[in-house]
Amino acid sequence: MNRLQGKKILVGVSGGIAIYKTLTLLSLLNKLGAQTRVVMTAGAGEFVTPLTFQTMSKNRVYMDLFSEEDHFIPHIDLTRWADVFLIAPATANILAKMAHGISDDLLSSTALAAHCPVLVSPAMNVVMYRNPATQENIQVLRNRGIGIIEPESGLLACDEKGEGRMPEAQDLAEVLDHFFSPKDLDGVSLLVTGGPTREMIDPVRFLSNRSSGKQGIAIAREAVKRGGDVTFVHGPLQAPVPKGVKDVPVTSTEDLYLALKDRFEATQALIMAAAPADMTPVQYMDQKMKKGEKVGNFSLALKETTDVLKTLGAEKKGQVLVGFAAETQFVEEYAKKKLKEKNLDFIVANDVSARGAGFAGDTNIVTIFTKEDREDLPLQSKEEVARVIVDRVVLALQEKGIRR
Ligand code: CTP
């Protein structure tokens, strides 16, 4: 189940062009099972009618400070109802009003009367955003504990370039998911790896594998949401590096080993979702290999790379160590062998030949093995698999007395 299921989200909307993204956000939140209610300013109503918001949120929309409903005081009762109050887009005007306690319409009054946590997503022209007045107002709000969702940088609707763009609906939903995540990795330092490695043959050719890095990305993102201090060491990825990690890109298995070796002692958990190449060319050619005159078969001499996890497993001093086993047969037997040989706390095994499991897709079917037990997980998204893995890491940390 996702974390937004059943959550009550009050969405405040002020008058900025980014408002169209809020419509998509409401649709997304409803699909995720959240309940939404909308408070709009008159300015917002100039861009999009209340009826559109009402349709997207499946609830009536509030614009007036004074209600004719019995026993209902909108600016008080709406935030009493809500688990969180998200203002998106938040214009320079609403930020200024909030910073100075002005309450001359329903949105600003609701912000002043908020019983629940408040998040704002500033969105405006770059000059307005950079103006010291706006920056100081944002700082005032931050100091008061209001969550500020940093605007993105890029081409703005006014054709200027710079910061001021509201994040996309999917990213705002991620912020809310982050908000509702338990912070059970607070203060824990974790190393997460992901993606394939590349073993260079010559300047233009390499050996690699089909890993996309998506499972490692999902684990790193989940660990950040749970409050972890995450270093993400990865090969070339087919999806973006998650926000909030310390990003350490590497190329070869040897690079991966060197990046982890130096950091391993100071870390409390290593989750090794990367698919490092097991073999590397004996010799690297400085210049591109030419076909030459001869037409026929070529052979490439290979040597074994370092087994990173096994090497670090042998040096482990209380860290939680998690490995993966990508198999095409004898999953349990091979996984348990790796669990033992690499000195792991648990191993996440999957049959990469099964439909819906493995490298390139967005879903996975895994079994988690410890020395004593096994847990078979159903086909689910890599995000859901990541959540179970992080739950298990938290448990293992607790068992070792690293977390309470
Ligand atoms: N691993 C590693 N270093 C390597 C190869 C793999 O640290 N050179 C890690 C992987 O990140 C994974 C675990 O070891 O967490 C198992 O990887 P896998 O490719 O399934 O197994 P191998 O140990 O490489 O064994 P085999 O290829 O024979 O299945």
End-to-end CA distance of the chain: 25
Beta strand 84-90 with 118-122 is parallel
Instruction: Give the mutation target among 234, 307, 359 for probing the ligand 1 site: most ligand atoms within 8 A of CB.
Output: 307
| Cβ–Cβ < 8 Å for 313, 288 | no
| Cβ–Cβ < 8 Å for 83, 7 | yes
Burial of 103 (C-beta count, 10 Å sphere; 0-12/13-18/19+): middle
Q: What is the pLDDT of residue 341?
A: 97
The whole-angstrom separation of Cα 274 and Cα 251 is 12
Beta strand 8-13 with 279-281 is unpaired
Whether 158 is a known active-site residue: answer yes
Q: What is the pLDDT of residue 158?
A: 80
Beta strand 346-351 with 367-369 is antiparallel
| Residue of 42, 133, 158, 300 marked active site | 158
* Distance from the alpha carbon of residue 310 to the mean position of ligand 1, in angstroms: 9
Task: Give, for 229, the enclosing helix (H) or strand (E).
Answer: strand 229-234
* Distance from the alpha carbon of residue 283 to the mean position of ligand 1, in angstroms: 22
Cα 87 to the chain's mean position, in Å? 21
Q: What is the pLDDT of residue 68?
A: 72
Q: What is the pLDDT of residue 70?
A: 67
**What pTM, to 2 d.p., does this model score?**
0.90
Cα 115 to the chain's mean position, in Å? 28
Nearest in space to 369 (alpha carbons), one of 346, 387, 350, 351: 346
Nearest residue by C-alpha to atom 14 in ligand 1: 309
Which of the 8 DSSP states describes residue 39?
A: E
What residues of the chain score a pLDDT lower than 70?
A: 1, 70, 293-295, 404
* Distance from the alpha carbon of residue 292 to the mean position of ligand 1, in angstroms: 36
Distances (CA, A) of 397 to 304, 367, 401: 33, 20, 6
Q: Which two tokens stand for residue 355?
A: 């439909």
The whole-angstrom separation of Cα 113 and Cα 81 is 12
| Cβ–Cβ < 8 Å for 220, 263 | no
Sheet of 189-194: strand order equals 246-249, 229-234, 189-194, 269-272, 320-327, 346-351, 367-369, 374-376
233: helix, coil or strand? Answer: strand
Residues 6+ apart with CB under 8 A from 189: 228, 229, 231, 266, 267, 268, 269
Q: What is the pLDDT of residue 1?
A: 59
The residues lining ligand 1, judged by C-beta closer than 6 Å to any ligand atom, are: 253, 272, 274, 276, 278, 305, 307-309, 323-326, 338
